[in-house]
Structures are given as structure tokens and as C-alpha cells.
Amino acid sequence: MEPGTTPQPNPTVLDSKVPDGPIADLWENHKFSMNLVNPSNKRKFEVIVVGTGLAGASAAATLGELGYRVKAFTFHDSPRRAHSIAAQGGINAAKNYPNDGDSVHRLFYDTVKGGDYRSREANVHRLAEVSVNIIDQATAQGVPFARDYGGLLDNRSFGGAQVSRTFYARGQTGQQLLLGAYSALMRQVAAGTVELHNRSELLDVVLKDGRACGIVTRDLLSGEVTPHSAHAVVLATGGYGNVYFLSTNAMMCNVTAAWRAHRRGALFANPCYTQIHPTCIPASDDFQSKLTLMSESLRNDGRIWVPSGAGDGRAAGDIPEGERDYYLERKYPAFGNLVPRDVASRNAKTVVDAGHGVGPLNNGVFLDFAAAIERDGHDAIATRYGNLFDMYQRITGENPYTSPMRIYPASHYTMGGLWVDYHLMTNVPGLYAVGEANFSDHGANRLGASALMQGLADGYFVLPYTIGDDLAGLLGDSVVPTDDPVFTAAVAGVEDETGRWLSTNGSRSVDHFHRELGRIVWDNIGMARTESGLRKALSDIPALRDEFHRDVRVLGSADTLNQSLEKAGRVADFFDLAELMARDALEREESCGGHFREEHQTAEGEAQRDDDNFSHVAAWEWNGPDTPQTRHVEELTFDNVALSQRSYK
């Protein structure tokens, strides 16, 4: 390790608890070897599920159906609003309905490769296996997937996959899948197996003798801080893409639940693995609040270019063909505009940084449909992309049929998250993490249409089995009473914190600091990272954090709906996370997937992995505020997929 980076007290090698055996039979055999809780005993167990997006709603509904007593929490006003609702493109499954050569093994292989060989083989294989059940489940719930004229389900190829394995529901796949999971959840609420707590925010995870025994929440309407106990706690609280401030994530997405668990001992894995999506509408001004994703499918027909000359201020139509640089087609003749997300994003950054950016703020590249319209006609393009073109026009006021779209990469998804073992349990016994909140299956880069698959796999088909194995050993144990000192101390801690924000009496809003933090993270821990940039982030972030804690202004009181107060705690956690992202990125002296260190690239400018030294998961342990965290590792072995260098030339 480099001098001067991290003191590392007692780093350990983590045990993923993956059972032995041939990979194709692991999960099947393991299901048989796990302990079961018999049906009449399930009601003796209480389980807390925090988050009701795809992962949480599916988990809570399924656990309720099985007979566990479930308490589900969301800070939204309804489970139906979770960020999952915004997913557009689709969900992968190895159904092989099109008969084009897909299989569980191929989906497994593609996911491991797409993740640039930084994920755990056993988990990914299980994901590919249960993917087929998800489509059955969702269809039975009434999810209106696209169908062909024979009435059977339709598939498309997505994100450069060589087979058509993506199921979709217009451009609203996430919405329809979430409404399915939400309806299953509401059925259990009606049945009395799930107790639903809307507008309740988790602000602490509570441990007793090293085991998770409950949580502390704040009611966002009344401000009441309440302890809740259970035999197990499941976090399904989504990703942390909003650490960049500007992202395609919904406004309320944040890291707080995972981070509070981290502060109580749960390891946080691979925080530097973030995905920057290439096709988003560029920011239009300083007041921009979030960025909008334009579907990746647009790259099937749109050609990406910038003016060849730097600083060319002319309108697209005035730039002659000979003065345009179709840089992806030029650099990657084989894949052209369809190179993977990370490659497309990085190249956009390179040309914009070199002064070729377009638009009023010079912060975009063109995505041009002129050739496609000329080839296929206006109507064909309108049928394919009409909705997206309308959406673009509504936001920018520009007509993409007559002038090219402007796009630029934006933070979209986070592969890092709470470290979990094969059972989806964190290193804290009794504490689980599912969906985007865990680090699990996507390695250093997630393939399109695989997040919905993972969230629902975890919730419907994995956690409900694995949690029983752990709970079976607790039969007869009652939950820790909520007047136990561990709970009263946690409640007091949360109340102290809210009090502190309200009495800081500074001068700047929470959003102001979030925006400034986002700039630092975007500039230094974004699409391309360097040692000097990361070191700069490591000095800028704590400095801004100090200012934040000294100078933030949160008005109003704690006993009412107070959105600034809610945000203050979330942004505080983003500060700590951002610092850890920089540390993680600095210590990972290689490039892989979404983590691109400029010092580590091939002669052609592609990500250069260092499998000898970094074929592992980095999982960080919290050692208290202002104290460097400890970097633990889980070694990754690839027995079923041969490691290779990705190439898209």
C-alpha cells in the first residue's frame, strides 16, 4: 500500500459463507441444507423491513405470506412512490423465450463479465437462476409486460446484450413492477401480517450483544422518535447516487439507513463503484435540481458527435459534416455508439473537457437522429422514440426531430453498498441488506435491466429462504424490549441530533452544502479519477463538512413536517460517505468498470484491471468520527468465468 494513505488496524479477510460444490447446484443444494422455521412457529418471529421499493416491498410481502410478523417502514407517504418506480428500460431474465441461445449460464456469465470481474460468482449465479421466477411472479400479479401479437411476452435486447432477454412494460417497467410488489404488500397489510409505517424515517439501527435487535425511526409528520424491536432487521433502502447532488435518482434517495447501520458496525463495501449513465439531459443552469435520464435505447439510432474544433459556438445545423467528430464511431468501429455505459460516459467527458462541449453551457454532446430520420422516415422514429422526444422537448424546449439532442453523463446507480454474505446478511448478525442498498451482484459495473432483477430476486426468492435459517436458531427468544437501555440510548441520540441541527443557527441552507459537496464528488470521484484529484477530495470534503456543521441553517421545529431538518441528517451522512468513496477509490490502484483511475489504463485508453492485487471486495469498517476506517477484504475467485480484458474496438 502506498505510504501516507491509511493506517489499517487489524484488517481481516471476510468469509462470504458461500457453500462448497459445483456452482450450478449450489443454491438448490443449499436450500435443502438450510434450517426451516415450521409454519406455526413463523408467527413467533418479528421482522423489520425498512424500505418498500422493489426489494423491500417484495421482501415484506413474501415474509408476510410465509407467516412472519412484519413491520415495514418507508419515509415516503406511500410504498408505491419508491425510487424503483422510475426505472424505464426493463428487467432481464434467462427465460430464453426468443430461443436465441440465452440460458442461466449465459446471464450469469454476462453479469460477471459486465461487472468487470469484481462480483461474487455464487451470488450472480443464483440471481440468474431465480430471474425466471420473477417474470412468472410479476405476470401473475398482473404486470402488463409487452406482448407480441400471439399474446405471448415480448423481449428486447438491452444495453448491448447479444441476446434478447429484457422484459419490458412500455418505458415504465419499474413502475409496473413496483405496483405489482406494492399490491402484494398491501394484500398482506390487509391480511394483518404486515404492519405498514409510512412517513417514518430510520435514523438508527440498534444492536444488543452484537446482534441487530431493532431500529429507531422518526415520524416525519409529528417528529416523534420511536424504537421498534424485532428478531431481524432488513434494509432495502436503495442506493446513494445522490451523493453527487445531481443525479437521475429521485430527490429523496439517500444513504442514511445504510450509513447508520455502517456506524453501528456493518461493513460498507466498494463505495467507489458508482455508475455514470451516458445519456442524460445536461444541466441547464445552477438551479438544476436533478437530471433526467433519456433511455439508453436512443443510442440504437442516434449518432453521437461533437464539433471537431474546440470552442465552436455554431448551431448544430451550421456545422458541416466534415467538421464533426463522431468520436465513438471513430474510436470503436465495432461497437460504435453502442459501447457500454462506462466507456460512452468517459469518452463524453474527454471531449467536453477538451473544449468540444455543446449547448449554452458547453456541457453536452450531440445525439443526432438526422441520419435515422432520413433512412427510416419521421414516422418510424416517432413510433420508436416519440415519448422520449416529447419528454426531451418538455424539459429543454428544443425539438429533437429538427435539431440534435444534447446529452451528458450523470450519476445513476451505485454498485457499492452494505457488505453481505451469501445469505444477504451483513457482518452484523440479524441485519440484512437487499436491493441496491447492498453491494452484491453487479461488481464494478451494472448491466442495464439488472437492478430490477436483483431487487426482486433478493426480495421474493432469496431472503425469504436465508432469513429462516438464521431465525430458526432463535426459536423461543423474545425480542429485546424497547425500554431496554440500548433503545433508550439510541432514541436519545436521535433526539440530540435533531436538536443540534435546529440550534446550529448558521447562514446557509442544507441544499447549498449538498450542492457544493456534489461538485467536489463529481469533479474528483466521478467518471475519471486521479491520485491528485482524490487527495484533493480528501482535503476538501472534511473542510466543507466542518463548515456545514458550523454554518448550516435549519429553521422551524422538530415536531412538524420539516423538510430541511430531514435533509440535514441525510446530507451529513453523504459527507462521511463521500470521504470514504475517495479513500476507497484512492486505495483501489486499478481501473475496473465504473471505477476508472487515469493512472491505470491500457495503451488504447481502456480500464486496466490489476487482478493480482485487486481481485477482491474492499469492505470498510467504521472506527468512529474523524478516525480512518479499516479496509477489510473478501477475496474473489473465478472458477467458472475466465478473466479477460474487455475490448469494444
Partner 1 sequence: MSDTISVTVKVWRQNGPDSPGGFETHPQQISIDASFLEMLDLLNEQLNDRGEEPIVFESDCREGICGTCGVMINGRAHGPQKATATCQLHMREFADGDEIVIEPFRAAGFPVIRDLAVDRSPLDHIIESGGYISVGSGAAPDANLTPVPKDAAEQAFDAAACIGCGACVAACPNSAAQLFTSAKVGHMALLPQGQPERWSRTEAMVDVMETYFGSCTNHGECHEACPKEISLDFIAYLNRDYVRAKVKNRALSGQR
Ligand X SMILES: Cc1cc2nc3c(=O)[nH]c(=O)nc-3n(C[C@H](O)[C@H](O)[C@H](O)COP(=O)(O)OP(=O)(O)OC[C@H]3O[C@@H](n4cnc5c(N)ncnc54)[C@H](O)[C@@H]3O)c2cc1C
HSE (side-chain half, CA atoms, 13 Å) at 263:
19
> Could you tell me if 277 and 298 are in contact, meaning their C-beta atoms sit under 8 angstroms apart?
no
Q: How far apart are CA 268 and CA 577, in angstroms?
A: 9
CA R_g for the chain: 24
Partner interacting with residue 563 (select from partner 1, ligand X, none; CB below 5-8 Å by kind): partner 1
Q: H-type helices in 154-248, by residue range?
A: 173-191
Q: Judged by CB under 6 A, which stretch of 93-101, 429-437, 534-542, 545-553 contacts ligand X?
A: 429-437
83, 118, 442, 529: residue in contact with partner 1 (rule CB under 8 A): 83
CB atoms within 10 A of CB 588: 24
The footprint of ligand X on residues 100-139 (CB under 6 A) is none
142, 386, 473, 499: residue in contact with partner 1 (rule CB under 8 A): 142
Cell of 623: 472506527
Provide the minimum distance between the beta carbon of 408 and partner 1 in the complex, in angstroms, as a whole number: 15
Contact characters 269-308, partner 1, x per CB under 8 A: ---------------xx-xxxx-x----------------
Nearest to residue 574, comparing CAs of 291, 252, 315? 252
Regarding 403 and contact with partner 1 (CB under 8 A), the answer is no
Q: How far apart are CA 371 and CA 423, in angstroms?
A: 50
**Range list of β-strands (E), 441-579:** none
Identify the active-site residue in 120, 341, 406, 446: 341
Regarding 396 and contact with partner 1 (CB under 8 A), the answer is yes
Regarding 182 and contact with partner 1 (CB under 8 A), the answer is yes
Nearest to residue 138, comparing CAs of 194, 88, 92? 92
Nearer of residues 311 and 485 to partner 1, judged by Cβ: 311
Cell of 302: 442516434
Nearest to residue 543, comparing CAs of 531, 551, 532? 551
The footprint of ligand X on residues 159-178 (CB under 6 A) is 173-174
φ, ψ at 300 (rounded to 5°): -65, -30
**SS3 category, 433:** strand
Regarding 563 and contact with partner 1 (CB under 8 A), the answer is yes
Nearer of residues 505 and 647 to partner 1, judged by Cβ: 505
Q: What number of residues does the chain have?
A: 649
Q: Judged by CB under 8 A, which stretch of 29-37, 268-276, 320-328, 387-395 contacts partner 1?
A: 387-395
Cell of 637: 475467485
Provide the minimum distance between the beta carbon of 256 and ligand X in the complex, in angstroms, as a whole number: 5
Regarding 151 and contact with partner 1 (CB under 8 A), the answer is yes
Provide the minimum distance between the beta carbon of 511 and partner 1 in the complex, in angstroms, as a whole number: 7
Q: H-type helices in 198-280, by residue range?
A: 256-263
Partner interacting with residue 509 (select from ligand X, partner 1, none; CB below 5-8 Å by kind): partner 1
Nearer of residues 219 and 376 to partner 1, judged by Cβ: 219
206, 243, 293, 581: residue in contact with ligand X (rule CB under 6 A): 293
Partner interacting with residue 78 (select from ligand X, partner 1, none; CB below 5-8 Å by kind): partner 1
Q: Judged by CB under 6 A, which stretch of 39-47, 349-357, 434-442, 614-622 contacts ligand X?
A: 434-442
Nearest to residue 559, comparing CAs of 499, 481, 486, 519? 499
**Residue 410: is it exposed, middle or buried by C-beta count within 10 angstroms (0-12/13-18/19+)?**
buried
> Could you tell me if 308 and 326 are in contact, meaning their C-beta atoms sit under 8 angstroms apart?
no
The footprint of partner 1 on residues 187-216 (CB under 8 A) is 187, 189-190, 198
CA distances from 230 to 70, 217, 256, 488 (A): 9, 14, 20, 15
70: left (phi over 0), alpha (psi -120 to 50) or beta: beta
Partner interacting with residue 237 (select from ligand X, partner 1, none; CB below 5-8 Å by kind): ligand X
The footprint of ligand X on residues 440-459 (CB under 6 A) is 449-452, 455
Residue 341 a catalytic site member: yes
333, 360, 386, 473: residue in contact with partner 1 (rule CB under 8 A): 360
Q: Judged by CB under 8 A, which stretch of 29-37, 98-106, 176-184, 417-425 contacts partner 1?
A: 176-184
Provide the minimum distance between the beta carbon of 66 and partner 1 in the complex, in angstroms, as a whole number: 8
Regarding 136 and contact with partner 1 (CB under 8 A), the answer is yes
CB atoms within 10 A of CB 632: 21
Name the site residues for ligand X (rule: CB under 6 A). 50-56, 73-76, 82-84, 86-91, 173-174, 201-202, 236-239, 248-249, 253, 256-257, 293, 412-413, 435-437, 449-452, 455
Residues known to be catalytic:
341
